[in-house]
Amino acid sequence: MEYEKGYVFQPKDTRPAKKRKTESQGLHASWQLRKKAYEEAWQIQNSRIEDALASIHSKALEDVTTYLNEIVETPLPSRIPTGIVLSGPGSASSNSLSSRVASSVQSHKRRLYVTLDSGSAPHLKAVLKVLIQKATASVAEDEDDDELATISRKGPRLLNYDLQILYEYVRDRNIEQVVVSFPDTEALGSALLSELLELLHSWLDRIPFVCLFNVATSVDFLQQRLSRGAVRCLNGRLFDAAPSSAEAQLVFSAIAHPDARLWVGPTLLASALERQSDYIQSIDELVDIVQYAYMSCYYANALSIFLDPSVKSDSIPADHFEALRNLDSSKAFVESMIENGNTTRARDLLESNDNLLAEVQEQMAHGKASLTKMTTALDVVRTIQDTLPNTPTSLKSNLFIQAMTCKLRGSAMMRTMLLSVRKAQSDVAAALMGSVCAADIADDIKEDITSLKGQLAELVAGSTAKSQPLRSEDDIGSSTVRTTVVAQKVHLSKQKSQLSKQDAAYTEILRKFSDHLEAYFDSSFIDPQSLPFHEIFIYDHKSPHREVFTPRPRHAVERALTSPHDYLDCDCCAPEKGEDGEATLSSTQPAAAVLYQLYLESGNLINVSDLWQAFQAVMGGEKEEGDLMVLFQRALAELRYLGMVKSTRKRADHVAKVAWRGL
């Protein structure tokens, strides 16, 4: 063994001694099936989200590429052409505009695309090295036969930060454009950036450079940071990337797509969107949240097996049906069936798995259809808001969250909207009816509204005063307030102004229209919690996400140190009763926890000798001083490692308190 440097481990027995459970049991048995179903479902959903995100940047992307093409055709000799993409702070994500520009430029044979991020750039030499390396490597990969030409270059070897290398490369391959992109412009040092730009500018007559800056703050900020000479080197044009809130809305509409197998519930969605605007502006995070919701639903909820519409009853283990029957909504469903006198059907569902499966699939299809109907109604609300004057259009996500939590029906917003429909003038009303008819609504309502629209058109055509639109009786403008003073008392009396016959007829039509709309909204905005088997296809659990996406590291460390008993669960240091949870010191607690509690009681500067004496007093008792000192020193080192204390120059025998509790 001693003379061997390594050896191949060959176990004699392949089977481990302990018998493993190779077959999962109970509800876990369907895990493989569910995993497959998840992969399928997420793939569909993910491609939907990708499509949505690809469409959002298409305009800005087109602008940037046309700009780059323009420069190839009409080069600017004196200044470096520069595209400045204004994007939000979360623009470093993989879906951002700059990466899309990169992929579109890289597909071009005669162009080079180099990304210089702040991590690769401590000083000018390193930046140039990276720039040359990336530029000369990007095409060489697919043209293997050309690689010799770069190596067998005539003349002396050049330093690897010499732009001459890039120049010769560009000249040999007839490169038209070298795009240098800075994805995080702000993070690059300003002196470095200025120097780099001036250097690139001096080579501009030989190498056709183009710069692309990704600016998260503002152009003024960038200009302030650059030296005057560097600013003079640039000739910029602004491009505006779509804001992250628009991205979030797009992703949301992909999530709430009618064909989605799983609906993400309102509380989860609300918290995700709120976090989006509060903290992060990266759309990837939102996509991650949705993916995690899918994963936790499929992996943890055994009933998600029923989400697959093509599932057969023989592939589902029997205990899944038992679980299904025990759902709250399923119990309520059967009970309501019995109350309605449909007892044989109820018995069937309780006894036959096949019947139950058929019923579940039917009810789920019905439930999803009503959710789809609800989202269509939300679209109708938004189109009405769009058409009505002086009404702000709500975000679709907000409406969705309100509707899913059953807060939209009869809300103040809806009432105001219907009221302003009643007050609308005839031209607005015609537009409203047109847009409502164009929406994807149920046929009977559509017919009613179409007939109303026809009546309105007739009325308007027959109206005498064609220049003025017809007015509704409910409009405030058609009633006047009259003030009379009788015996020193003011009487206010409302009086309807005279309405023409057409106006009266118009009012009648408008009232009918708004009644139809109200009925339509009432039927659409159902309570999703009342749908049978809603637990299966609506996922709405917040806590797994909270633990995973927003952990609280500092709080966890502090809590573990202040109340170690909660974690250790030992008998020795259980808090005494009557002190209701107040942390107490005892010698049985870990030394670091004891020291931390002493630390919390002290001021900014802690005398280590005092701390040691206090520690000794707490831990005291029968232990040797040497043993205690070991514990003390280790605990202090642990606190220091956790970033709680540091040594201070002010006093040699003191340590400084650095972290305060509860921040």
Partner 1 sequence: MGLEMLPDESRYTVGALKEQWPCREPQLRQLNAVLSPTLPNPPALVAYGAQATGKSSIVRSYLETSRQRHVIVQCKECVTGRHLLERTAAAVHQSLQTEAVKGDAETYTGRCENISALVSHLQRMLRQVDHYVLVFDGIDRQREAPPTLLPALARLGEFITNLTTLFIVRHAPPRFLHHPGVPHIHFPSYTRNQSIRILSNEPLDIFESSFPEDMDYDEETHAEDKDWLWPRFCAAVWDSLAQSCARDLSSFRDVCHKLWRPFVAPIHKGDFGTRDFSRLLVAQRKLFQDESALSDSIIATPTAQTSVVKSKSHDLPYYAKYILLAAYLASSNPARLDQIYFMKSTERKRRKKGGGTARSGGGKPSQNRKLPRHLLAPSPFPLDRLLSILYAILPHDFRSTIDVYAQIATLASLRLLVRAGGIGGGDPLEAGGKWKVGPAVSWEYVQNLARTLDFGLLDYIAE
- Span 334-363, contacts to partner 1 by CB under 8 A: none
**Contact with partner 1 (CB under 8 A): which of 48, 108, 134, 237?**
237
As measured in angstroms, the least distance from the Cβ of 232 to partner 1 is 5
663 binds partner 1 (CB under 8 A): yes
Residue 219 or 572: the one with the smaller Cβ distance to partner 1 is 219
> CA-to-CA distance for 365 and 536, rounded, in angstroms?
12
> CA-to-CA distance for 2 and 441, rounded, in angstroms?
82
Residue 184 or 475: the one with the smaller Cβ distance to partner 1 is 184
As measured in angstroms, the least distance from the Cβ of 184 to partner 1 is 6
Query: In degrees rounded to 5, what are phi and psi of residue 241?
Result: -80, 155
54 binds partner 1 (CB under 8 A): no
Query: What mask of x and - would describe binding to partner 1 in positions 90 to 119, judged by CB under 8 A?
Result: x---------------------------x-
As measured in angstroms, the least distance from the Cβ of 210 to partner 1 is 14
**Contact with partner 1 (CB under 8 A): which of 134, 150, 191, 243?**
243
Bridge-based pairing state of the strands 645-647 and 654-657: antiparallel
**Contact with partner 1 (CB under 8 A): which of 184, 284, 348, 638?**
184
For partner 1, the binding residues in 56-85 under the rule CB under 8 A are 82, 84
Which residue in 400, 413, 392, 405 sits closest to 374, CA to CA? 400
As measured in angstroms, the least distance from the Cβ of 592 to partner 1 is 15
Query: Are 163 and 132 contacting, i.e. CB atoms less than 8 angstroms apart?
Result: yes
As measured in angstroms, the least distance from the Cβ of 157 to partner 1 is 5
Query: Are 180 and 143 contacting, i.e. CB atoms less than 8 angstroms apart?
Result: no
As measured in angstroms, the least distance from the Cβ of 95 to partner 1 is 16
As measured in angstroms, the least distance from the Cβ of 61 to partner 1 is 17
Query: How far, CA to CA in Å, does 50 sit from each of 8, 47, 252?
Result: 46, 5, 12
For partner 1, the binding residues in 616-645 under the rule CB under 8 A are 640, 643-645
User: How many alpha carbons lie under 13 Å from residue 445 in its C-beta half-sphere?
Assistant: 23
223 binds partner 1 (CB under 8 A): yes
**Contact with partner 1 (CB under 8 A): which of 128, 510, 591, 611?**
128
As measured in angstroms, the least distance from the Cβ of 394 to partner 1 is 18
Quote the radius of gyration of the chain (alpha carbons, Å). 36
Which residue in 199, 192, 125 sits closest to 167, CA to CA? 199
218 binds partner 1 (CB under 8 A): yes
Residue 191 or 327: the one with the smaller Cβ distance to partner 1 is 191
Binding-site size, partner 1 (CB under 8 A):
74
550 binds partner 1 (CB under 8 A): yes
Phi-psi map region of 607: left, alpha, beta (phi>0 left; psi -120 to 50 alpha):
beta
**Contact with partner 1 (CB under 8 A): which of 27, 280, 460, 600?**
280
Q: What is residue 18's three-state secondary structure?
A: coil
Q: Which one of the spans 259-267, 308-316, 547-555, 619-627 is the region binding partner 1 (CB under 8 A)? A: 547-555
Residue 274 or 335: the one with the smaller Cβ distance to partner 1 is 274
H or E stretch covering 199: helix 190-202
Query: Are 53 and 250 contacting, i.e. CB atoms less than 8 angstroms apart?
Result: yes
For partner 1, the binding residues in 130-169 under the rule CB under 8 A are 155-159, 161-164
Phi-psi map region of 79: left, alpha, beta (phi>0 left; psi -120 to 50 alpha):
beta
398 binds partner 1 (CB under 8 A): no
544 binds partner 1 (CB under 8 A): no
Query: In degrees rounded to 5, what are phi and psi of residue 4?
Result: -90, 140
559 binds partner 1 (CB under 8 A): no
**Contact with partner 1 (CB under 8 A): which of 491, 501, 542, 555?**
555
**Contact with partner 1 (CB under 8 A): which of 63, 186, 475, 508?**
186
Q: What is the DSSP string of 612-660?
A: HHHHHHHH-TTS-HHHHHHHHHHHHHHHHHTTSEEE-SS-TTEEEE---
User: Which residues are CB-contacts of 258 (< 8 A; sequence separation ≥ 6)?
Assistant: 368, 371, 372, 375
Query: What mask of x and - would describe binding to partner 1 in positions 193 to 212, judged by CB under 8 A?
Result: --x--xx--xx---------
- Residue 307 neighbours by CB distance under 10 Å: 20
Q: What is the DSSP string of 331-373?
A: HHHHHHHHHTT-HHHHHHHHH-HHHHHHHHHHHHHHHHHHHHH
Percent helix, percent strand, percent coil in the chain, to nearest 5: 60, 10, 30
Tokens 């017809």 belong to residue: 470
As measured in angstroms, the least distance from the Cβ of 608 to partner 1 is 16
Outline where DSSP puts E strands in 273-425.
Answer: none
**Contact with partner 1 (CB under 8 A): which of 11, 77, 341, 553?**
553
124 binds partner 1 (CB under 8 A): yes
Q: What angle do CA 104, 215, 274 make, to 5 degrees?
A: 95
Q: Which one of the spans 37-45, 135-143, 227-235, 591-599 is the region binding partner 1 (CB under 8 A)? A: 227-235
As measured in angstroms, the least distance from the Cβ of 217 to partner 1 is 6
